C-alpha cells in the first residue's frame, strides 16, 4: 500500500495508522506493538529490576548527552513496554526513590513509535508489512496523493464567525477534482453530503463546530475520514507541511501552536544528536546594572514623525532574526557554554561557542533553505500554503529562543539576537544616509527610505547593505505616498502606516481599517475614505482629493446619527481567551454564557455590550459616533492641511 501518513492512534497495544491513498483513506493496523519510553537513570542497579517486570518487552542502555550544554554523556535506558498504566506507576516509584525519571517525553509517545517504524507523518510511504519511505526526507516539492476534503465554517445571523451558541448557517468548501462552495443551514445536511461523497477523506472544521461534527459522524464515516480543526487558518496543505517538518500527526499539527511545531522540529534534531530532551534551568551570568541596561533591549523600532511622505521605498531583510540566529550560531547550549574551547565574544559580553553547530541554528538554517527552495514556485496554491506555513515557524523562532519554557533556548541567546539586529539596522541606516537617502522609519526588519540625492539606485543600495551585513535585503514596495498617522498620544507608531503603491493598490498596516476587533462601520469608513485617494500620485493631487476623502468618512457619522445603519456594521468581534477579572466589554458580554470563546456583540442604547443573538435593534449612537471620531486621528487629513 502506498500513501501519505496522516494520523495514528494507539489502543490496547495496537497501533492504527491512517494513510491517504489515491483511492481514499485507509487504515493500517499493527498488532501487539510496544510503546517506547526513555528513563534517565541515577542508579545502574535499576537495570536488574527491569528484567523482572512482565510488562516490559525489552530495553537497552544508550549513551545520550545531558543538558544544558550537551557535553556530558549520560546513560539512558530505552524501554519497550505494553501496559502503560503499570509502566507509569513504576516510573513514579523510581522518581520517588531518586533512582531515575522519564525523559524524551516531548511531544508524545506515539511520535517516538511512529519514528521507530519509519511511519513519518506527512510523508509518502510504501507499506508491505514494514514501512518504507516513498519520497525524499528533504524534498519540499514532494508530490501528494489525490486529496478530497471539505472545510466547514459557521456564521451567526449577522454573517460573522459564530461561537458554539449562535450558529445560524454554515459555508462549506468541497475541494478535490472539482471545487464547490455551498451554504447549508444545519450540520445534518453537511453530514449527508459527506455520506454521499465517499472520496472525502478529511474534514477541516472551525472551532465552534468541530465537537458536534465528531459526535454526528456515524461509525462508517468515522472509519474513512479524519476530522481536524484549523484554528490558525494555515490551510490543509500548510498543515501537511507542518506534519512533515515536525513529524507530528495531522491532528496534532492542527491543534498545535506554532511554538509547538517549532519545538517538535527541534526535538527531531535533538534525537538525531542524542541530546536528552528535558527542561533544565539555564543560569544567567551575573551582571551589574550598566551591563544589564545595555543587553536587555529589544530590536529596532523607531517612532516615525507623523506625516505624509512621497516617493517612498520599503526595504525588507529576508528572515532577519532567523538568519541572525543561523549566522551567529545561536542556541541555548552555545551561549556562555562553560565547556567551550573556541568562542566569539559579542558586543554585549555574551560568549558564543563555535566548537559545533547549535541545535536551534541548525534547525532554522534548514527551514530557511527549504523556504527559499519554494519561493520561486509559490504562484502554485499548494506551494504557497507550504511557503507560508514555514514562514510562521520562522517568525516564532526568535520569540521561542527567549521563552522561559523553551527546551532549547536561553535569554542570553535572545539578547545576542536583538543586539546583532540593532547593529544591522544601524548599518542599514548609515549606508542609506551615506548614499543620499533619507530614512523615515525602521520597523524590526524594514526600513523606509526616500531618495534625496541618491548616489546609488535603490536596488544597488539594497545590494550594498546586503554585502555589508550578510543578510539579503530586498526592495519590498515603492509608494507614491505613505502616511504615518498620529496615535492618541500625539506621536507616531512604527507599526501603523498606509500608502498608495506604484501598482495603485494600498498597503495598510496597524490602523483600524485592518484590525479584526474593530466594527465594520469604522473599517468601511476608513477604507471608503482611502479609496477616494487612489488616483493621487503626488502632493498636489492628494491635496485636491482630501476634501472628498473627509466627506466620505463623515458620511458614516451621518448614517449613525440618522439610524440608517445595517446592524452587521456595528458588531465588535473579540476573543475572550481566559476569563479575567478585568471588566472589559467582551467579559461583560460573555457573562451571558460563561464561555471561553470568541464573542460578537453590539453596544445597545443603554451602553451595554449585548451578544448579537440578543440585540433588539437599538444601538448607542454616541458610542459609535465617538468611535468614528477617535478613529479619525488615523486619517490623512489630520496631517495634511488643505
Residue 347 has pLDDT above 90, yes or no: no
pLDDT above 70 as % of the chain: 95
In Å, how far from its chain's centre is CA 591? 30
Task: List CB contacts of 244: < 8 A, sequence separation 6 or more.
Answer: 120, 121, 122, 123, 142
What are the two backbone dihedrals, phi and then psi, of residue 39, each rounded to the nearest 5 degrees? Answer: -115, 125
Which among 637, 531, 619 is positioned nearest to 567, based on CA atoms? 619
- Length of the chain (residues): 642
Go through the domains of the chain in sequence order and give each one's CATH number: 1-33+119-130 (2.40.50), 34-116 (3.30.70), 289-484 (3.90.1600.10), 511-642 (1.10.132.60)
Q: Region 393-407: what's the mean pLDDT?
A: 89
Our CA dihedral for 374, 377, 381, 382, rounded to 10 degrees, sits at -50
pLDDT in tens, 31-82: 999 999 999 988 777 787 888 899 999 999 999 999 999 999 999 999 999 9
- Name the pTM for this structure: 0.89
**630 Cβ partners below 8 Å, 6+ apart?**
488
CB of 348 within 8 A of CB of 284?
no
Please state, as a whole number, how many other Cβ atoms lie within 10 Å of the Cβ of residue 40. Answer: 18
Alpha carbons 292 and 627: distance in angstroms, whole number: 42
- Cell 458580554, located at residue: 589
Interval 292-298 mean pLDDT: 76
344 near 351, Cβ under 8 Å?
yes
DSSP 8-state symbol, 284: P
Rg (CA), the chain: 28
Tell me, what's the pLDDT at 513?
Answer: 96
338, three cell numbers = 562553560
- In this prediction, residue 576 carries a pLDDT of 67
Predicted local distance difference test score (pLDDT) of residue 138: 82
pLDDT over threshold 90, residue 469: yes
What average pLDDT does the structure give for the chain? 90
pLDDT digits (tens, 9 = 90+) for 34-46: 999 999 988 777 7
Under 8 Å CB-to-CB from 635, ≥6 apart: which residues? Answer: 485, 526, 529, 549, 550, 553
Q: Which residue do the cell numbers 521563552 mark?
A: 403
Name every residue whose Cβ is closer than 8 Å to that of residue 532 and which is 6 or more positions away in sequence: 545, 548, 549, 552
Taking Cα atoms as reference points, which of 374, 368, 373, 376 lies closest to residue 386? Answer: 374
The cell numbers describing 13, all together, are 497495544
The Cα 350–Cα 347 span in angstroms is 8
| Residue 588 pLDDT class (50, 70, 90 cuts) | low
480-525 pLDDT, tens digit each: 999 999 988 888 888 899 999 999 999 999 999 999 899 999 999 9
Instruction: State the pLDDT at residue 594.
Output: 41
pLDDT, residue 231, reads: 66
- 301-343 residue pLDDT tens: 888 999 999 999 999 999 999 999 999 999 999 999 999 999 9
Binning pLDDT at 50, 70 and 90, where does residue 613 land? confident
Residue 232 has pLDDT above 80, yes or no: no
Q: Among residues 547, 466, 536, 462, which one has the least CA distance to residue 504? A: 536
Q: What is the pLDDT of residue 596?
A: 42
Q: Is residue 642 pLDDT above 50, yes or no?
A: no
Name the residue with higher pLDDT: 376 or 156: 376
Judge whether residue 177 has pLDDT over 70. Answer: no
Q: Which of 89-103, 206-220, 521-535 has the highest mean pLDDT?
A: 521-535
pLDDT value of position 208: 79
SS (H, E, C) 133-181: ECCCCCCCCCCCCCCCEEEEEEECCCCCECCCCCCCEEEEEEECCCCEE
Amino acid at each position: 500500500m502506498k500513501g501519505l501518513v496522516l494520523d495514528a492512534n494507539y489502543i490496547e497495544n495496537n497501533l492504527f495508522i491512517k494513510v491517504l491513498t489515491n483511492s481514499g483513506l485507509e487504515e493500517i493496523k499493527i498488532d501487539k506493538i510496544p510503546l517506547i519510553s526513555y528513563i534517565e537513570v541515577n542508579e545502574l542497579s535499576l537495570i536488574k529490576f527491569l528484567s523482572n517486570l512482565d510488562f516490559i518487552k525489552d530495553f537497552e542502555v544508550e549513551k545520550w548527552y545531558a543538558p544544558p550544554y550537551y557535553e556530558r554523556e549520560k546513560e539512558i535506558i530505552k524501554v519497550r513496554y505494553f501496559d502503560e498504566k503499570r509502566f507509569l506507576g513504576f516510573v513514579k516509584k523510581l522518581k520517588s526513590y531518586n533512582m531515575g525519571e522519564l525523559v524524551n517525553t516531548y511531544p508524545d509517545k506515539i511520535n517516538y513509535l511512529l519514528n521507530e517504524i519509519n511511519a513519518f507523518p506527512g510523508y509518502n510511504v510504501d507499506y508491505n508489512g514494514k514501512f518504507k519511505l516513498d519520497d525524499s526526507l528533504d524534498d519540499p516539492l514532494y508530490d501528494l496523493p489525490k486529496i478530497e476534503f471539505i472545510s466547514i465554517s459557521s456564521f451567526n445571523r449577522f454573517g460573522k464567525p459564530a461561537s458554539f451558541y449562535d450558529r445560524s448557517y454554515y459555508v462549506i468548501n468541497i475541494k478535490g477534482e472539482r471545487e464547490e462552495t455551498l451554504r447549508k443551514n444545519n450540520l445534518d445536511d453537511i453530514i449527508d453530503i459527506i455520506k454521499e461523497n465517499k472520496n472525502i477523506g478529511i474534514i477541516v472544521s472551525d472551532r465552534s463546530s468541530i465537537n458536534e461534527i465528531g459526535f454526528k459522524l456515524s461509525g462508517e464515516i468515522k472509519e474513512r475520514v479524519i476530522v481536524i480543526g484549523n484554528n490558525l487558518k494555515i490551510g490543509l496543505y500548510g498543515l501537511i507541511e507542518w506534519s512533515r517538518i515536525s513529524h507530528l500527526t495531522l491532528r496534532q499539527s492542527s491543534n498545535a501552536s506554532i511554538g509547538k511545531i517549532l519545538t517538535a522540529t527541534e526535538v527531531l534534531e535533538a534525537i538525531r544528536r542524542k541530546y536528552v530532551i528535558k527542561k533544565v534551568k539555564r543560569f544567567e551570568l551575573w551582571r551589574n546594572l550598566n551591563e544589564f541596561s545595555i543587553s536587555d533591549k529589544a530590536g529596532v523600532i523607531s517612532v516615525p514623525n507623523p506625516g505624509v511622505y512621497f516617493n517612498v521605498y520599503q526595504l525588507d531583510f529576508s528572515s532577519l532574526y532567523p538568519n541572525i540566529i543561523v549566522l551567529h550560531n545561536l542556541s541555548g547550549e552555545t551561549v556562555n557554554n562553560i565547556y567551550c574551547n573556541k568562542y566569539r565574544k559579542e558586543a554585549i559580553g555574551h560568549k558564543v561557542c563555535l566548537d559545533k553547530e547549535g541545535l536551534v541554528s541548525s534547525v532554522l538554517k534548514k527551514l530557511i533553505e527549504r523556504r527559499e527552495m519554494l519561493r520561486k514556485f509559490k504562484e502554485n496554491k499548494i506551494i504557497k500554503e507550504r511557503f507560508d506555513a514555514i514562514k510562521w515557524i520562522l517568525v516564532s523562532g526568535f520569540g521561542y529562543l527567549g521563552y522561559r519554557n523553551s527546551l532549547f533556548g536561553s535569554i542570553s541567546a535572545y539578547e545576542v539576537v536583538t543586539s546583532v539586529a540593532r547593529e544591522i539596522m544601524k548599518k542599514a541606516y548609515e549606508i542609506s544616509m551615506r548614499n543620499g537617502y533619507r530614512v523615515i522609519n525602521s520597523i524590526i526588519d524594514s526600513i523606509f527610505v526616500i531618495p534625496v540625492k541618491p548616489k546609488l539606485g535603490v536596488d544597488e543600495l539594497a545590494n550594498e547593505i546586503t554585502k555589508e551585513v550578510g543578510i539579503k535585503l530586498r526592495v519590498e514596495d515603492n509608494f507614491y505616498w505613505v502616511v504615518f498617522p498620529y496615535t492618541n498620544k500625539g506621536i507616531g507608531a512604527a507599526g501603523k502606516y498606509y500608502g498608495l503603491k506604484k501598482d495603485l493598490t494600498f498597503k495598510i498596516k496597524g490602523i483600524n481599517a485592518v484590525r479584526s476587533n474593530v466594527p465594520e462601520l469604522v473599517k468601511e469608513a476608513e477604507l471608503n475614505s482611502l479609496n477616494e485617494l487612489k488616483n493621487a500620485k503626488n502632493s498636489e493631487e492628494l491635496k485636491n482629493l482630501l476634501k472628498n476623502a473627509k466627506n466620505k468618512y463623515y458620511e458614516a457619522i451621518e448614517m449613525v446619527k440618522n439610524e440608517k445603519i445595517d446592524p452587521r456594521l456595528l458588531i465588535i468581534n473579540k476573543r475572550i481567551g481566559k476569563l479575567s477579572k478585568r471588566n472589559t466589554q467582551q467579559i461583560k458580554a460573555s457573562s451571558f454564557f460563561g464561555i471561553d470563546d470568541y464573542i460578537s456583540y453590539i453596544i445597545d442604547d443603554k451602553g451595554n455590550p449585548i451578544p448579537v443573538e440578543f440585540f433588539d435593534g437599538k444601538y448607542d449612537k454616541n458610542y459609535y459616533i465617538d468611535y468614528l471620531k477617535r478613529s479619525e486621528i488615523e486619517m490623512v487629513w489630520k496631517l495634511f492641511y488643505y
